[in-house]
Every structure is written in C-alpha cells, then in structure tokens.
C-alpha cells in the first residue's frame, strides 16, 4: 500500500457529510502547508489511521483553503486536532504530540 494514504481530506463543502454525519468518530487535523509542527504530526496521524481506521476516521482540513470551517470551530493555532462524534465536537488536542501521547488522548475512541 505504499503511497496510499490512510487519512481522508475534507473541505468546507464536505465537512458536514464526511465528519458530522460520520458513523464513526472523526479526528480532523486542521493544518496548513506552511506549518512545521503540522508536517511533524502528519506521518503520526497516517500511522494511527492505518492502525485504527476501523474505529476512527482521520481527516485533514487545510485551514488556508477552508477558512469557514476553521473559523466555525475557533481554530486559532495549528495543528489543532478535533475529534467529532455524533455531529458534536468531543475533544480538542492542540499542537503536535508524539504518537504515544496522541494514542493516550484518543484512547476513548480507538
């Protein structure tokens, strides 16, 4: 599966259908191409998506191209990782974290 991505990309247009109406919890990575810490956390999120994708969907939302959604959830600093379940925001993780710390934060969902 080299080159395949385990995460999905969401936009302002698809956020409602892909995230809020998802059967599974969805972690949304609010990121931008110019954000160094975002680039650090991206491969970790890919690993988590590959290992736990059956229980948790991991989506990426580029804040530069999707400002409405970022503004709606008051995303000020990136990376911000928001977990949505049943259409509600249930957890916010701000900043890049090592994989072990992220797995601890996500233990309720995976």
- Measured between alpha carbons, how far is 65 from 54 in angstroms, rounded to an integer? 28
Active-site residue, selected from the candidate residues 28, 35, 58, 102? 35
pLDDT tens string 26-81: 999 999 999 999 999 999 999 999 999 999 999 999 999 999 999 999 999 999 99
Annotation says 35 is catalytic: yes
Annotation says 38 is catalytic: yes
pTM of the entire predicted model: 0.94
- Between 5-9, 30-34, 66-70, 91-95, the lowest mean confidence (pLDDT) is in 5-9
pLDDT tier, 5 (very low <50, low <70, confident <90, very high otherwise): confident
How confident is the model over 71-98, as a mean pLDDT? 97
The DSSP call for residue 106 is T
3-state secondary structure of 10: coil
Active-site residue, selected from the candidate residues 19, 26, 28, 38? 38
């Amino acid at each position: 599966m080299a080159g395949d991505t385990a995460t999905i990309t969401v936009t302002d247009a698809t956020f409602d259908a892909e995230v809020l109406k998802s059967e599974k919890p969805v972690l949304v990575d609010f990121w931008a191409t110019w954000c160094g810490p975002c680039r650090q956390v991206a491969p970790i999120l890919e690993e988590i998506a590959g290992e736990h994708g059956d229980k948790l969907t991991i989506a990426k939302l580029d804040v530069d191209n999707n400002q409405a959604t970022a503004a709606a959830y008051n995303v000020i600093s990136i990376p911000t990782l928001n977990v949505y379940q049943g259409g509600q925001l249930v957890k916010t993780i701000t900043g890049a974290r090592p994989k072990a710390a992220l797995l601890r934060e996500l233990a309720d969902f995976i």
